[in-house]
Amino acid sequence: MPEIRNYTLNFGPQHPSAHGVLRLVLELDGETIDRADPHIGLLHRATEKLAETKPYNQSIPYMDRLDYVSMMCNEHSYVRAIENLLGVEAPVRAQYIRTMFDEITRILNHLMWLGTHALDIGAMTVFLYAFREREDLMDCYEAVSGARMHAAYYRVGGVYRDLPDQMPKCENNQFRSDADIARKNETREGSLLDFIDDFAHRFPGLVDEYETLLTDNRIWKQRTVDIGVVSPEKALDLGFTGPMLRGSGFAWDLRKKQTYAAYDKVDFDIPVGQNGDCYDRYLVRIEELRQSARIIKQCVKWLRENEGPVLLEDHKIAPPSRGDMKGDMESLIHHFKLFTEGYCTPVGESYAAVEAPKGEFGCYVVSDGANKPYRLKIRAPGFPHLAAMDEMVKGHMIADVAAVIGTMDVVFGEIDR
């Protein structure tokens, strides 16, 4: 009988399940993992230091590129931290728009997670299903900001502009048939709100399709049940937040516990797990997809019934309208001053956190009274989750590492910022 030897194995960064530039050094006893040591530093791009060299507004696009699957949620934390320093609050309509797009972003994130997690474990079809719905939501991003991913739509004091009255239509091209284009344009005859409302009403039925493929699938359960179990006490000790914490049984959600935007005005539930394994974290995120659609419906209803400004009218921190700028020299001066020099914040410090799709995403800003942060520190949800890799995979097999990485939903832009 051959002798079982101990091995040290590199898992990534080239491994298809490593999700970016994760390098894991695994110490193995045969195929059983004795120790997992995550190595980061292959992506490092100094986001925090770059933000300390630029006026506040010029760093909003950097936030999109941190967790590049949760773009607007990252922006939300940053602009809230600056609003706290300035002592201002966005108009109510802007708060509802932020809430709605935070939930659109949550669905975008969870669909990416679902597709790639299933792909890591060996289920290919779910990836195609999830990206079908992501396309519609990417079109919503593009309709309000002009960009499908890095929107830079949130602003200190509100959002860049109000929702468009006309949803852009798909145009004919060589890759789509006329029938396919006509089908996609059926829901684009009205406004962006009409399009989002239609999506929110049909989306729970599409979640049912994902569940049909996975939830009771024997192979899926064999790969996720009792894998990566984390007890409630250990989840707290390890600094888990978001679905990772709720999967272990804690009903902790910043949207309810430290509410912000319009979350105190909408009704939704916090899904929690019981066993703290990969399967429970899957179920939590699936239910979050349904709850996000529920929140979006309520926001659409309110936004249809209530008009109002979406940006503060203080031109020291928010730009004047194009019309004002063309007819008033003072507004023109405000415009140029804002986009070149920016605005100064009072001396002090501020921390603002949001319930991002992956967990608590926070920005800690220290101001020395200048027009840029003296210090910016980002609290990325994925960092403590990745630090728990050794705890979660010890005693499991090599194949289970892919399932554990998938259940964490790591994106290295925020971890190795």
Segment 148-193, tens digit of pLDDT: 999 999 999 999 999 999 988 887 776 778 788 888 888 888 899 9
Looking at residues 400-417, what average pLDDT do you find? 91
Give the phi and the psi of residue 397 in degrees, each rounded to 5: -90, 165
Q: Is residue 19 part of a domain?
A: no
| Residue 336 predicted with pLDDT over 90 | no
Q: Is residue 98 part of a domain?
A: yes
Quote the CA–CA distance of 107 and 286 in Å, as a whole number.
10
Residue of 155, 56, 168 lying closest to 101 (CA atoms): 155
The percentage of the chain sitting over the pLDDT mark of 70, rounded to a whole number, equals 98
Structure tokens at 133: 């719905």
Q: How confident is the model at residue 3 (pLDDT cuts 50, 70, 90)?
A: low
- Weakest mean pLDDT among 256-260, 280-284, 307-311, 331-335: 331-335
Domain carrying residue 182: 47-317+344-414
Q: Is residue 1 part of a domain?
A: no
Quote the CA–CA distance of 414 and 63 in Å, as a whole number.
9
Q: Is residue 325 part of a domain?
A: no
Contacts of 47 (CB under 8 A, 6+ apart): 62, 65, 66, 378, 417
Q: How confident is the model at residue 51 (pLDDT cuts 50, 70, 90)?
A: very high
Q: Is residue 53 part of a domain?
A: yes
Half-sphere exposure of 27 (CA within 13 A, CB side): 6
| Residue 327 predicted with pLDDT over 80 | no
Q: Are 380 and 411 in contact, with CB atoms under 8 Å apart? A: no
Q: Is residue 32 part of a domain?
A: no
> What's the CATH number where 198 sits?
1.10.645.10
| Residue 5 predicted with pLDDT over 70 | no
Q: Is residue 266 part of a domain?
A: yes
| Residue 4 predicted with pLDDT over 80 | no
Segment 250-269, tens digit of pLDDT: 999 999 999 999 999 999 99
More confident residue, 197 or 340: 197
Structure pTM? 0.94
Residue whose tokens read 């890759």: 175
- DSSP for 136-202 reads HHHHHHHHHHS-SS----EETTEESSPPPSSPPPPPP-TTS-HHHHHHHHGGGSS-HHHHHHHHHHH
Segment 106-155, tens digit of pLDDT: 999 999 999 999 999 988 999 999 999 999 999 999 999 999 999 999 99
Quote the CA–CA distance of 377 and 356 in Å, as a whole number.
16
Domain count, the chain: 1
Quote the CA–CA distance of 20 and 37 in Å, as a whole number.
16
| Residue 38 predicted with pLDDT over 70 | yes
